[in-house]
Structure formats: C-alpha cells, structure tokens
Structure 1
Amino acid sequence: MEKRAEHGDFLRIHDETVKNVMEAVPADQTLYELAELFKVFGDFTRIKIMSLLLEAELCVGDMAQLMGMSQNAVSHQLRVLKNSELVKFRREGKVIFYSLADSHVKRIISQGLEHVNE
C-alpha cells in the first residue's frame, strides 16, 4: 500500500533512487517512438518476413513463395518495415532484394527468438 502525504503527493522514501531513475529514463518522445517500433514488431507477418531475412537476402517473389502469400501482401508489409527503417533494399536490374537494415535489427530478432525458445 502506498503512503500519501496530507496533500495527496506520494511520500518519497528513496529520494536518491527516484532522482536517479528520473534522470535515466528516456524522454517521452523517445519512449513513444520505441513503442511505435515495437508495434511494427507486433505483427506475425512482419516478424515472419524479418525471420526470413535473418537467413538470407530475398526478393519479394521468393518471400511470397516461402510465406504462401501474394506478392502484393508481402510488398505491403515490406513498405511498413522500410518506413520503420527495419529493412533495406538494393536493386539488381529489375529485381529488388531486401535484407535486414542493420546489426541492431538482427540482434533484436535473434534475441527475441532466443527468449521464446528458452
């Protein structure tokens, strides 16, 4: 049960701890952006795409075949991932190949998989 002061404020029993935590917590805007990033990770199809890209650079056609989905559906999800800077692409003639954006994204996916497999 929380203790309250007479005027409704919380009693601060551990002032130093509270001060340290307040200084360490990121700004609200940063936390909002992090929450938005995790929303992108919260979709099964996008996670499946990223797990495929963890293994190899792929074109939309290959991803569609591996996922049993239409190329349009895969392309739509890739747009979301590109807009969130989670995947990158390169063009080779008429074919566009996709890969995970960087080592941070690879680490997030790998560690997430490791966590759920424990």
Structure 2
Amino acid sequence: MKSEDKMNTDYLKEASRIFKLLSNETRLKMLVNLEDKAISVNELSALLDIEQSAVSHQLSILKKHQLVDTNRIGKSIYYRLDDPHILDIVNEAVQHSSHVIRGKKHGE
C-alpha cells in the first residue's frame, strides 16, 4: 500500500473500527478458533463457554465488518474467517503482549 493511501481518512476510520472490534477478548477468541476451520455457533458456544445468543451477536458484528463469513450446511450455519490475514494483526498483538507481560524488550 502506498504511503498516501495509508493516510486516507476513510481507511484510517475503518482501521480504527477494526481495532475497536479486536479490543473485545471474546471476539479475539472467536477469530483464533476460526483460524483452521469453519465452526457452528453451537460449537463456538461450547468451546468458549458462552451463551449461544451472545456468540451469535458477536459473530454478526464480525460479519458486518467482513472479518467472518458464513456457509450453510443443512440447518446449521458455519462461520469461517472471511479475511484470514486479520489473524496477522491478532498474532502480532499477542506477541507484543507477551513482551510487555514478561517485561522483555523486543528481540530478547
């Protein structure tokens, strides 16, 4: 991406929205669980020990911002990452958090 594109106000506003979405620990857990396979709401609810309605609500927010997508199989709807490189952002943030928590400088 060109440097002038990085300063585009619309791009920065959407990036800010994405960071707000990623500031929710439940949503982060959902995205990480969707890394390798599509998962139904019921499965995610069990994995995260969260009410199905809460899982559905959070997934609808992620879908609205094109972070997840759905696929219907029979009566079940399966969620999958719509934009797998979003996990690059999540993984970088987790790695940075590890440095902060351990009190280590980057590269140590």
Q: TM exceeds 0.5?
A: yes
Secondary structure class of the residue paired with 2:61: helix
Is the aligned partner of 1:98 residue 2:79?
A: yes
CA distance in 1: counterparts of 2:72 and 2:5, whole angstroms: 42
The higher relative CO (CA closer than 8 Å, separation ≥ 6) is in 2
Listed as ranges, the gaps of 5+ residues in structure 1 are: 1-20
Listed as ranges, the gaps of 5+ residues in structure 2 are: 100-108
Q: CA deviation at 1:45?
A: 0.9
Q: CA deviation at 1:25?
A: 4.8
Number of residues of Structure 1 aligned to a counterpart in Structure 2:
97
Secondary structure class of the residue paired with 1:39: helix
Is the aligned partner of 1:63 residue 2:35?
A: no
More displaced 10-residue stretch of structure 1: 66-75 or 100-109? 100-109
Runs of 4 or more above 3 Å deviation: none
Residue 113 of structure 1: aligned partner:
94
Secondary structure class of the residue paired with 2:34: helix
Alignment root-mean-square deviation, CA:
1.9
More displaced 10-residue stretch of structure 1: 49-58 or 81-90? 49-58
TM-score, length of structure 2 as denominator length: 0.78
TM-score, length of structure 1 as denominator length: 0.72
CA offsets 1:42-78 (integer angstroms, 9 cap, x no match): 1111111111111331100000001111110000000
2:17 to 36, 41, 50: 36
Is the aligned partner of 1:83 residue 2:64?
A: yes
CA distance in 2: counterparts of 1:104 and 1:51, whole angstroms: 12
Amino acid across the alignment from 2:73:
E
State the structure with more CA Rg. 1
Q: CA deviation at 1:91?
A: 0.5
Question: Percentage identity across aligned positions?
Answer: 33
Secondary structure class of the residue paired with 1:97: strand
Is the aligned partner of 1:54 residue 2:32?
A: no
